[in-house]
A and B are shown apart, each in its own frame.
Chain A
């Protein structure tokens, strides 16, 4: 009588088919339709295609010469690097430090995780106020320190870094919590044995913690890199339409702009296809570089 539900595989279908249908209707069909749309001439949202583009692959040719898309791809690459170093890197350091303190671990977990629960739009508005030109928090603070004249923190020279700071800051806590969970899974015995053998604290981190945390870090890096391709809300709130001078385009914001502002839906679909392809390629590369190790 034991678990007959698992012996008769047919019963599993009852669960699997609805889930598959859900995925098929809300993910795979739209995805395939999106590929189809990228070859069609669609001039407004929700409208049917007016036939094939001339030639049908014209959007992909256009992408090759699109200066804004090049900027978006370049900025997204920078964003990936920032997420790896700034999000996962800082999260590793914070996790190691919190793991090594005896009291207050729960407090820090809550503190670092908190930004995740705030909506990105609200954070975007908040950082807008922080970096506001007139009466912004940073400029007021600098004024108090004796600086004369206001700094435009959102101009061409600063825009990219100002956009990336809040994105980085928001997600550190997410990876921090994943890494802390990974750290908790490392048996305490190993550290005790190492301590008896005279290993220093750094040696314990270097030869026990980091190798055993490798797979978790790998997962975090894959999530961070693919997440960087989709970043949209916070940058769009702070720097709509690639402001200033198209310096802050990301693949996500540029795709949205093409769909909702210029109503070039087919071109936007082509950019969406590019984002998916890039997502697959980059996650493959990351998996290759950070190949999971078995211990």
Chain B
């Protein structure tokens, strides 16, 4: 009898442990009865220049409102995007997320899993009232506005001036042409350095964007071609051919096809490569690389950071060098799940409002654009030398155009992003790779 009791108890324990994982999830990270918790995910992490600002702001908000933030921020990459999308599909989305406002957000907007700004304003009339609504990007799905922007972005060309000096090359200016760029690359290569730091095997994104932009205009750049022979189609092919030509001339690092992005970035910061095309977030990454403790800005080696600057991207067509890729591509969303939860609705709104006050946006935006109606004066004395150079560069920008890859996302990118090594080595022709991507895009948009 005793054995039978033990047997039943053990079996019961097994069943209970089995069923423990099948309970209804009441919120991604909240516990029952705990209405002072918000789950938040953003891209303010890793090398992002605002990672520390975000941590400070979250800590201050927690203290002020008594709300615990369960933060799952991560570096902005394809893995992050996939995770967010999967979370939404699985019903474990965060309460608040700072995410892209382009095609990447289409899936959860189509399913009505986030709340529009207008809907929130019906109950909270002052929500995002400090923003210029004309600058808030509407969704590609229903033309409604969902994401409250904070800081914009730009993509420019960072230079290691120490390498340029060693190769006797001037820091490029606002009228930098493609021919000048090629001549400079040749000099840099002859001096024993890699002219361009880029991992074509992992992150060809920036070169992909600008190489196409060089053959389009700010007005036409965001038009996705229907075929390689129509609209921007020939420009896309020409862009890929340009990257191939640079590769063949040996202007990328020897290991550009096998190295990861952080390895080629290390070549740049380590004084072995001259140019790096990347986003505004890399200002923070370069500063972190100049700190003895990447987490502690007080350990910054100012002399080392002074050797870096940022400038315009050479042009190879109608685009001016000062026409850059950039804009306000991300913003804060509130999930429908949090909105429908009375215990979380107010906290979620308060969090977004806290993170998008004028002062907070100015702090985050730094050298990038913002959507504020009245941006406060920026105190440049609090910025490091690279941030100041970025502000100077931005003062000369003639236009900011969104990235075509934000519209051309998912499987259609594979043939020209992951397939870039095959393009530059000639295994696949640029025309075939572009045609394959466009065909996939046509299939996606037809569904």
Contacts and interface: CB of A to CB of B under 8 A. Distances in A.
Interface of A: 4-5, 11, 14-15, 17-19, 21-22, 25, 43-47, 50, 132-135, 150, 152, 154-156, 159, 240-241, 243-246, 260-264
Contacts of B201: 241, 243-245
Nearest to A159: B258
A46 B82 CA distance: 11
B340 interface: no
Interface stretch (B10-18, B34-42, B66-74, B342-350): B10-18
A50 B443 CA distance: 14
B29 interface: no
Nearest to A154: B258
Contacts of B414: 261-262
Interface centre among A17, A241, A264 (most CB of B within 10 A): A241
Contact of B8 (A14, A46, A150, A260): A14
Contacts of A156: 257-258
Contacts of B15: 18, 21
Contact of B107 (A44, A155, A243): A44
B202 A240 contact: yes
Interface stretch (B178-186, B238-246, B266-274): B266-274
B226 to A, nearest CB: 21
A210 to B, nearest CB: 42
A22 B89 contact: no
10 contacts: A5-B7, A43-B410, A43-B444, A44-B107, A133-B253, A150-B254, A241-B202, A243-B257, A244-B258, A264-B411
Contact of A262 (B267, B411, B425): B411
Interface string B250-276: 000111011110010011001010000
A11 B414 CA distance: 56
A60 to B, nearest CB: 19
B162 interface: no
Contacts of B90: 46
A260 B90 CA distance: 15
B177 interface: no
Given A5-B4, A25-B18, A245 B257 contact: yes
B418 A261 contact: yes
Indicate the size class of the contact surface on chain B: 35 or more
B78 interface: yes
Given A18-B11, A244-B201, A263 B270 contact: no
B82 A263 contact: yes
A134 B425 CA distance: 23
B18 A46 contact: no
A23 to B, nearest CB: 10
Contacts of B79: 260
A167 B272 CA distance: 32
Contact of B422 (A50, A154, A246, A263): A246
B421 A152 contact: no
Given A245-B421, A261-B78, A22 B18 contact: yes
Interface in B63-89: 78-79, 82, 85-86, 88-89
A12 B413 CA distance: 55
B427 interface: yes
Nearest to A19: B14
Given A46-B90, A245-B425, A264-B411, A18 B4 contact: no
A155 B7 contact: no
B270 A134 contact: yes
B272 A134 contact: yes
A14 B11 contact: yes
A14 B11 CA distance: 6
A241 B418 contact: yes
Contact of A21 (B3, B18, B88, B418): B18
A44 B14 CA distance: 34
A133 B78 contact: no
B18 A18 contact: yes
Given A11-B4, A18-B11, A261-B78, A155 B85 contact: no
Contacts of A150: 254
Given A14-B11, A45-B82, A134-B267, A152 B258 contact: yes
A129 B430 CA distance: 33
A155 B272 contact: no
Contacts of A14: 7-8, 11
B242 to A, nearest CB: 20
Sorted nearest first, the 3 A-B pairs with minimum C-beta distance are: A46-B89, A244-B258, A154-B258
Contacts of B272: 134
Contacts of A5: 3-4, 7
Contact of B89 (A47, A133, A135, A264): A47
B447 interface: yes
Given A11-B7, A22-B14, 19 more contacts: A4-B3, A14-B8, A14-B11, A15-B11, A18-B14, A21-B18, A43-B410, A45-B86, A46-B89, A46-B90, A133-B254, A133-B263, A150-B254, A155-B258, A245-B422, A261-B82, A261-B414, A262-B411, A263-B411
Nearest to B82: A260
A47 B82 CA distance: 12
A244 B258 CA distance: 5
A264 B443 CA distance: 13
Contact of B266 (A134, A244, A246): A134
A244 B425 CA distance: 11
Nearest to A152: B255
Nearest to A12: B7
Contacts of B78: 261
Nearest to B15: A18
A133 B264 CA distance: 10
Interface string B144-177: 0000000000000000000000000000000000
Interface centre among B8, B78, B255 (most CB of A within 10 A): B255
Contacts of B202: 240-241, 243
Contacts of A135: 270
Contact of B259 (A25, A50, A154): A154
A156 B201 CA distance: 12
B258 A243 contact: yes
A165 to B, nearest CB: 16
Interface centre among A14, A15, A135 (most CB of B within 10 A): A14
B205 to A, nearest CB: 13
Interface string B428-447: 00000000000000001001
Contacts of B418: 241, 261
